[in-house]
Amino acid sequence: MIATIVTNKGTMKVNLFEKEAPITVENFKKYAEEGFYDNTIFHRVINGFMIQGGGFTKDGVQKETQAPIKNEAKNGLSNKRGTLAMARTNAVDSATSQFFINHIDNSFLDYKNDMNYGYAVFAELTEGFEVLDEIAKVKTGTKSYFQDWPVEDVIIEKITIE
């Protein structure tokens, strides 16, 4: 299964890992197909780390989500450059709609043990690394109490699944 992420900076294609992360892929697919991601933004951008989006409008309003899902970080996949993983709070099973794309290899985010659970990788970029790199380099600042918020909006226009 392939997802296409269309942004105002270009298009990225990702291969979804249905076998390794079935709950997470189904969750992402559901949000994409209902148009939840349309006109959301990458609201947290850290060059040399990751870009995070899928939960806020460009006005800084956090969208209402479905219930959190089980963390599938124990699936053996690593947070390497170009992989997508679910963002979450400190609670292990708290991921909803937000995801991040690793700008570099971030193996410290992988599952280590039940005390250091990690972040569930569920997809990998197949096209659009130059878009990832361009987004990672945008100028950021602080918006309200959020740090690393892009000064100019990086908009997720839509995500489609094929």
- The C-alpha atoms of residue 16 and residue 114 are separated, in whole angstroms, by 25
* Mean pLDDT, residues 11-21 taken together: 98
* Mean pLDDT, residues 127-149 taken together: 96
Contacts of 20 (CB under 8 A, 6+ apart): 72, 75, 76, 77, 121, 122
Q: What is the pLDDT of residues 72-130, one digit of tens each?
A: 999 999 999 999 999 999 999 999 999 999 999 999 999 999 999 999 999 999 999 99
